[in-house]
Chains A and B, each alone.
Chain A
Amino acid sequence: MFSILRSIWLVFLHMFHKRVTVEYPEKKNYLPPRHRGRIVLTRDPDNQERCVGCYLCAVACPVDCISLQATEDENGRRSAEFFRINFSRCILCGYCEEACPTDAIQLIPDFEMSEYNRQNLVYEKEDLLIDGQGKYPGYNFFKHAGVDAGVKGKGGGADEDQPVDIKKLMP
């Protein structure tokens, strides 16, 4: 009997507590920077696109929502001819961000993407590409890669050895 009265009294005291509801959309919850929200394609420090069209993100995606086609320019630098993400399928898991070798595709803490028309949820490359470097500043893939794509010559990278001269006997 006493426990019943005590329950009633304690619940009554809840009247004087602050309410825990966050009144969206006037107030928003804090989202940490690694929160997996909308997908963006980022650029280099030299303002070139980071995406090299390697298809790794499309392969990693568990719901197959990424569709892209690679193309190469005259210097041998690969990029994506078209890059399409169907956000009605995307589950914002972040596997594509983990798979990307160039830190091109990233997930940012923005989730407000509602649409009335389902076709408007299919984002093309011009919708995804941003002007900044995203969460990983200072990384240019072509400065570390082995290929010569107009950014540096072979062997010119920071952690690279010079290429071996195949016509000589010395190491």
Chain B
Amino acid sequence: MIDILLHIALVIGIMFALVLISAGLIWLERRTLALWQDRYGPNRTGPFGTLQVVADMIKIFMKEDWIPQFADKKVFVVAPAILMISILLSFAVVPFTPEIGVVNLNIGLLFFLGMSSFGAYSIVLAGWSSNNKYSLIGAMRGASQMISYEVFMGLSLMGVVMLAGSFNMRDIVLAQQGRWFFIPQFLGFIIFFIAGIAETRRLPFDIPEAESELVAGYHSEYSGMKFGMFFVGEYLGITLISAMTTTLFFGGWLGPGFLPPICWFLIKMFAFILFFILLRASLPRPRSDQLMALGWKILFPLSLLNLLVTGAIVLYYK
């Protein structure tokens, strides 16, 4: 009984910590974007501008939460919730340390891939229920991008599964004790990372929300807390892809013993989050058709090739 309660407390703690991290990402992103653009980010509110997050939260809560008359009300309200739910559920299988983790699913990786497909629903529902041409165009582009990049996201991870021998995330981390998987699976790592950027609709793949193009894309009709949920959901997605990359390719919590495992996990995860922000600072946005061409004509065959070669080598050594 008591350990059930302890586990529930751990789960709530993990969820709370994740939402805190993604809220803190608001501040981190603005300051690091500014660092790479030769300017200061917010540095007036609070020490080093950290209270900017509180100011942003207060602003989002106070905004008028308006549902358009022409919108499909039930779907309109549910769409951002679906995004948050699918990403927070995906975090259930991420092994933070040997002790901390929500659940030890034997098909953890498959669950993660399923949840990321679920996330595509939120985009389509948001764009459709907004009943607005530009939102619909943004949603359709977003859906096409997410679905096509999901194809080889799963395929690129199959190499890791072959090397580790199971879908269980903890087994995958433990199998990297000899050598982290990004060395034998370098191509798989690159493809998975690019697919991850496309899944979270982050620059350079942010055509769906394209601030300067389709007004604001699929979330142009959203205001107040629902928009806040899309916003925080995007940062949660970044955190999720960084966590998955460190777990699957960079050894998760593994590292020399002078730091506790949770520190290693957090260091690696934040390194990838900073790389996400660096990509936003440096790359221009490709056109929709260039994006799809990259996905289907270049990355998909490369992931199939990776799968082929990894399978051949694993079979040869068995």
Contact = CB atoms under 8 A, between A and B. Distances in A.
Interface residues of A, number: 14
A19 B40 contact: yes
B283 A20 contact: no
B278 A12 contact: yes
Contacts of A14: 35-38
A8 B37 contact: no
A23 interface: yes
A27 to B, nearest CB: 12
B282 A20 contact: no
Contacts of B37: 14
Contacts of B281: 11
A21 B40 contact: yes
A4 B283 contact: yes
Interface residues of B, number: 12
B282 A7 contact: yes
Contact of A19 (B38, B278, B282): B38
A18 B38 CA distance: 7
Contacts of A158: none
A17 B38 contact: yes
Interface string A2-26: 0010011011101101111101000
Interface in A3-60: 4, 7-8, 10-12, 14-15, 17-21, 23
Interface string B277-289: 0110111000000
Contacts of B278: 8, 11-12
A21 B42 CA distance: 12
B39 interface: yes
Interface in B84-127: none
Interface of A is mostly: helix
Contacts of B279: 8
Given A7-B282, A8-B278, A8-B279, A20 B38 contact: yes
Contacts of B38: 14, 17-20
Contacts of A17: 38
A4 B290 CA distance: 14
Contact of B39 (A8, A10, A15, A21): A21
A3 to B, nearest CB: 10
A8 to B, nearest CB: 5
Contacts of A20: 38-39
B36 A8 contact: no
A19 B36 contact: no
B36 A11 contact: yes
Nearest to B35: A15
Interface string A75-90: 0000000000000000
A14 B37 CA distance: 7
Interface in B258-307: 278-279, 281-283
Contacts of A11: 36, 278, 281-282
A15 B283 contact: no
Interface of A: 4, 7-8, 10-12, 14-15, 17-21, 23
